[in-house]
Amino acid sequence: MSFLNTCRRIVESRFSSKALYPPELPLEPKPPKPRETIDQQFIAYHTANPLVLSVIYARVCNGIREGKTYFSMRDIIGDLRDDGISINNNFTRPYTDLLIEEHPTLAPYFHRRARANGRMKRVYVS
């Protein structure tokens, strides 16, 4: 037997049953699915519960009749939650914007913050 045949036999017998490299491990954990934005959650909630805006409008109108000059949407939503309506605190801004969009005369009764632009602006990729 020649030297090359002996080397080939050794290499084949040593590595034939074993892989040269260990198998790759699967990526764990898998990356989470992207979450819905607050606006997307609000649209889904408002579509399922359209009467919530009417209840908010009624509360504001009653408060104006009582002589109030300022309303906090967070307080209104807290009152709704006390009455048994399940609602997320993240919906304060969208409900304020929607209420003022439908009833522009209510704008002086609410204070709204400016939205972040530029570096602070969030961009979501779908």
- The answer to the question of residue 14 being in a domain is no
pLDDT of 117 reads: 60
- The answer to the question of residue 101 being in a domain is yes
Domain count, the chain: 1
- The answer to the question of residue 24 being in a domain is no
pTM across the whole model = 0.65
| CA–CA distance, 56 with 5 (Å, rounded to integer) | 89
Q: Contact, 80 vs 56, CB < 8 A? A: yes
Sign of the dihedral defined by the CA atoms of residues 82, 106, 44, 89, in that order: negative
- The answer to the question of residue 30 being in a domain is no
- The answer to the question of residue 12 being in a domain is no
- The answer to the question of residue 93 being in a domain is yes
Range of the domain at 110: 38-120
| CA–CA distance, 123 with 79 (Å, rounded to integer) | 33
Instruction: Provide the residue-wise pLDDT of the chain in tens; the chain has 126 residues.
Output: 688 788 777 767 655 555 566 777 777 777 777 788 888 999 999 999 999 999 999 999 999 999 999 999 999 999 999 999 999 999 999 999 999 999 999 999 998 876 666 555 565 554
Query: pLDDT per residue over 70-103, tens digit each?
Result: 999 999 999 999 999 999 999 999 999 999 999 9
- The answer to the question of residue 33 being in a domain is no
| CA–CA distance, 103 with 100 (Å, rounded to integer) | 5
- The answer to the question of residue 4 being in a domain is no
SS3 31: coil
